[in-house]
A and B are shown apart, each in its own frame.
Chain A
């Protein structure tokens, strides 16, 4: 099966989306360069561990739920987090795969995408509920936090419906239009929103890994007999 979309939708899917993508990339470049311009605190102390190994280990933190007590103690929260973020990647990925390589989006692949979209939608609902009802989360939540999670949750739902119609052989639907319009909006809005946290993630993690890797607090298996008492 190969679905095709109308010329109008194609314009939204391709040139418009590319322009939005270009805008997002430009904003990210500015954001990253602003951060890179900030001075890095020096480290002139004799190291006990390895700052580079620490930075790598810290960057992979997201894949190691056992490395932090907060994820160790909440495996359910971590699983939710993973599914949600895979859902994000697949949903955005779908908006590129559909116009560019529709042949890839077979019913089986589409169903896998839908599965994650559906789960991410449910998780999104739970996250909204948590933000509203858990006092220590509500107290730190800004309208942007609510808007971001609501937007994502709606995005998953729309994507899910558009994909299910896609599988049934109706690619050019109102839902698909909304799906792509939302993607375009995302690309334009995300650099200004908390959703762009993934651009800052490497900075925070590398800072952490360099500091505590160098001090021998993490990556303790780095061999350095001058300090390791074992």
Chain B
């Protein structure tokens, strides 16, 4: 293998010049960048809010922390909207305070930083409750992109993106270490009863499915890879994992920097083409799924293969009766399912998880708000990569914790790694006796092989 072929990522050891304060120069630069962010969705979202307040009860922040009124969606979006209005609203240019317009100064920019990085997960629940169709996902991402470009971005979030840029995955897992991990997981899998012939094919050319992973899996949760591989093998799915661009995450979705989002997507596209796979298969990861399925084709201008997800594939396997499951394995447990915002509301996957769950258990209870109405758990939008906002993130998870508690479930299923971590934290914080699992982990023990 040549050194060039072995090198992953851009390999230029980039360290984004982050800043701890807004300076007048940065604000000036943001002014210059603003017009470039105003596509029709962002512009309509900035000018269309009528301050009706109907979104106030839609947000997990404002519902979980009712004493802080600055957490209602319209107030948060207004931190950006005020600036926009001062430049583009006809009255706002003449009588700014009359329409709530405000020029971008340090105070407003600081407020924007606090509210749009640290008090919004871009979950779009408010969008679904807004009569004007204000798209908070797009609006907040545009604002974040502007701040990020001048260096005012949460350090840890930017580090994650930089690591991805520099090494091809967001945890800088070296290629040889990754291959070794896959081999080790394969051995562990083969030690399971009935799985002696199961494989985790790495770099198999012409495989039907190109399975992608969240870097937390090889790093901290190898058992989830083992579970996924077990299910796919049991169903006879022809899949492979690339030793190169296997990371499905794209934190540039969260920091709003399009060139990186495009770059990470392009690497993956080239890798799928290299192995000649029919499907790019998103593993169980919320933003990763949305990034691959709905954003990647736009970032790279279309792809010559199909894109699907573990949720869809597993549901198909269940429906085609390619998985034999023994429900008695889970007897005595009650399950509930948390719809990740990027999978359900922004991704359209709502029934598939239920098909999978109902095939493996008879005791499944929905949370009060589910599918596209599900509250964000609080871990979306890159929130877990912004430790400076941790107390607010945990407080904002209260509504989700309350809903989990109300189901009486002792196992919370989900299909997203950010949700996993947030759910684990809020379950502990709000003293709920439940554990968190993904869908492959639900199916794997119930397989009859």
A135 near B69: Cβ-Cβ < 8 Å: yes
Q: Given A208-B127, A215-B347, are A139 and B72 neighbors across the interface (CB < 8 Å)?
A: yes
Q: In whole angstroms, what is the CA distance A48 to B132 when docked?
A: 24
- CB of B58 within 8 A of CB of A70, answer yes
Tally A-B pairs: CB < 8 A. Answer: 173
Q: How far is the CA of A215 from the CA of B347 in the complex (A)?
A: 6
Provide the residues of chain B in CB contact with A192, threshold 8 Å: 90-91
User: A38 near B: Cβ within 8 Å?
Assistant: yes
Q: Please state if A144 and B99 are interface contacts (CB–CB under 8 Å).
A: yes
Is B181's beta carbon under 8 Å from chain A?
no
Cβ of A197 within 8 Å of any chain B Cβ, yes or no, is yes
Q: Is A35 an interface residue (CB 8 A)?
A: yes
B70 touching A139, Cβ below 8 Å: yes
Residues of B within 8 A of A108 (CB): none
Contact A144 B100 (CB under 8 A): yes
A140 CA / B398 CA spacing, docked (Å) = 24
Q: How far is the CA of A45 from the CA of B292 in the complex (A)?
A: 9
Contact partner of B307 (CB less than 8 A), chosen from A46, A142, A216, is A46
B39 in contact with A48 (CB, 8 Å) = no
- Fill in one digit per residue for B58-89: 1 if any A CB lies within 8 Å of its CB, else 0: 10001000000110101100100000000000
Is the CB–CB distance between A204 and B134 below 8 Å? yes
- Collect the chain B residues with CB atoms within 8 Å of residue A230's CB: 351
Q: Tell whether, in the assembled complex, residue B56 and residue A204 are in contact, meaning their CB atoms are under 8 Å apart.
A: no
- Chain B: interface size category: 35 or more
Is B50 among interface residues, defined by CB-CB distance under 8 A? yes
Using Cβ atoms and an 8 Å threshold, which residues of chain A touch B40?
35-36, 38-41, 203, 207
> Which residues from chain A contact B51 at a C-beta distance below 8 Å?
137, 140-142, 145, 194
Given the complex, which residues of B lie within 8 Å of A71, measured CB to CB? 54, 131
Closest partner residue, chain A, to B56 (CB atom): A136
- A70's partner among B57, B348, B355 (CB-CB below 8 A) is B57
Query: Quick one: which of A62, A194, A206, A229 contacts B131, CB cutoff 8 A?
Result: A62
Other-chain residue from A39, A197, A229 in contact with B352 (beta carbon distance below 8 A)? A229
Task: Collect the chain A residues with CB atoms within 8 Å of residue B235's CB.
Answer: none
Bound complex: CA A193 to CA B95 (Å): 12
Q: Which residues of B contact A134 (CB under 8 A)?
A: 53
Most buried by A among B98, B138, B294: B294
Which of chain A's residues have a CB closer than 8 A to the CB of B44? 35, 200, 203-204, 207
Contact B132 A41 (CB under 8 A): no
Q: Is the CB of B97 within 8 A of A143?
A: yes
Complex contact A40–B351 (CB within 8 A): no
Q: How large is the interface on A (under 10, 10 to 19, 20 to 34, 35 or more residues)?
A: 35 or more
Partner of A136, one of B53, B133, B295, B302: B53
On chain A, the residues within 8 Å of B263 by CB distance are: none
Q: Is A68 an interface residue (CB 8 A)?
A: yes
* Residue contact A39 to B72, C-beta cutoff 8 Å: no
A residues in contact with B315, CB < 8 Å: 229
Closest-CB distance, B208 to chain A (whole angstroms)? 16
**CA distance in complex: A100, B429 (Å):** 68
Q: Which residues of chain B are near A70, meaning CB under 8 Å?
A: 54-55, 57-58, 129-131
Question: Per a CB cutoff under 8 Å, which of B75, B99, B303, B344 touches A140?
Answer: B75
Known: A215-B346, A229-B316. A193 touches B50 (CB 8 A): no
| Chain A residues within an 8 Å CB radius of B47 | 35, 200
- The residues of B that contact A228 with a CB separation of less than 8 Å are 351
| B345 part of interface (Cβ distance < 8 Å) | yes
What are the interface flags for B123-150 relative to A under an 8 Å C-beta threshold, 1 for contact and 0 otherwise? 0000111111111001000000000000
Cβ A42 vs Cβ B298 within 8 A:
yes
Residues of A within 8 A of B295 (CB): 45
Chain A, residues 181-214, CB within 8 Å of chain B (1/0): the string is: 0000000000111100100110111111101100
A49 within 8 A of B: yes
Q: How far does the alpha carbon of A65 sit from the alpha carbon of B321 in the complex, in Å? A: 40
User: Contact between B39 and A40 (Cβ–Cβ < 8 Å)?
Assistant: yes
Chain A 59-87, CB-CB to B under 8 Å as 1, else 0, gives 00110000011110110010000000000
A62 nearest CB across to chain B (Å):
7
- The yes or no answer to A44 lying at the interface (CB within 8 A) is yes
Within 8 Å CB of A68, what residues of B? 54, 128-131
Given contacts A43-B298, A227-B348, 10 further A-B contacts (CB under 8 A): A38-B39, A38-B40, A44-B303, A68-B129, A70-B58, A139-B70, A144-B100, A201-B131, A207-B135, A208-B127
Chain A residues packing against B (C-beta within 8 Å): 35-36, 38-46, 48-49, 58, 61-62, 68-71, 73-74, 77, 134-137, 139-145, 147, 191-194, 197, 200-201, 203-209, 211-212, 215-217, 227-230
28 chain-A/chain-B pairs, Cβ below 8 angstroms: A38-B38, A39-B39, A45-B295, A45-B298, A69-B57, A70-B57, A70-B58, A71-B131, A139-B69, A140-B74, A140-B78, A143-B97, A144-B91, A144-B100, A191-B90, A200-B47, A203-B48, A207-B41, A207-B133, A207-B135, A209-B133, A211-B41, A217-B344, A217-B346, A217-B348, A229-B312, A229-B315, A229-B316
